[in-house]
Structure 1
Amino acid sequence: MSEDRQRVLHLLSIGKLTVDEAEKLLIAFENTSEPAAPVSDVRGKYLYVQVEPKEGKSTEKVSVKVPLALVKAGLNISKLIPIEAQEKVQASMHESGMSFDFSSISTQNMDEILEALEQMSVDVDSDESSVKVFCR
C-alpha cells in the first residue's frame, strides 16, 4: 500500500477526514499516472571503433570514440529525414543484405537500442587488420 493511501486511512481513522473526503482522495491517488520509467543514462558512455593493422601490413591506426548521447541525438534526428530519402537509404541497405526501417525508431524503443549498443561487442580479425567495436 502506498504512503499516500496509508496517510489518508490514518487521517480517516483519527477523525481528521470524513469518509467522503477519504474516498475522494483515494480515487484521486488511483487516477494519478505511474511515474515514467527512467531513461537509461548515456552520459559518460561511449561507442568505440578501433582498427589495428596487422604487423607489416600498414602503419595506419583508427580509433573513434563517439558519445552515446550523440548516438541518441542521431536517432532523434533521423525522424527529420524526408520519407523519400529514408526509402532510398532503406533500399540501399536492403540490397546490401541489411533490413532496417527508419519508421521503427520511436522514443519507446530508443532506450532498448541504446541498451543493446551498450552490451554490444564486435571483434573482426582479418589478414589485414583487427577491428573492435564496443561500448563502455
Structure 2
Amino acid sequence: MEDNRYEIFIDEKQKIIQYKHWGILKIEDIGEAWQQLLKTEEFTKMGYNLLSDYSEADFNFSVGNTMIVWDFFKSIQHILRNKKEAVIATNPFTTAISILFENEAYKNLNFEVKTFTTRDVALDWLRK
C-alpha cells in the first residue's frame, strides 16, 4: 500500500482493537492491515476483539478474491477462535462481502463476525 489508508487504535479499557480503512482498497491493503494486527499481543494473546470500520472505504476486488481472505483466516484460526469482529460497512458491496464471512467464520473457525452500519451498535455488540 503506497499510503497508509488505515489506522489501528487499541482500546485497553474495553479490550477492543479498532481499525479503520478509507479510500479504495485492494485485497492486499486489507492483508497489510491484518499483518499489523497480528503483531499486537492484545489481539494474538490477550483476547481483544476487533472493530473493523470500512464506512469510508470501497472494496476494489471481486467476490472471487475473498477466497484469499478466507484462506488467510483459516491459517490463523488458532488466533481467531472465540473472538468477535464487528464490521462497519455502509455501501452495498462492502456489506455483502462482510456478510459472506459471517456464517462461515463462525461455523468453521468459531470466529463471530457481524456487520453493522453504525459504530455505536457495533461497539455495543462487542461489549456483550
Q: TM-score, normalised by structure 1?
A: 0.22
Higher RCO structure (Cα 8 Å, ≥6 apart):
1
- Structure of greater Rg: 1
**Higher fraction of strand:** 2
Q: TM-score, normalised by structure 2?
A: 0.23
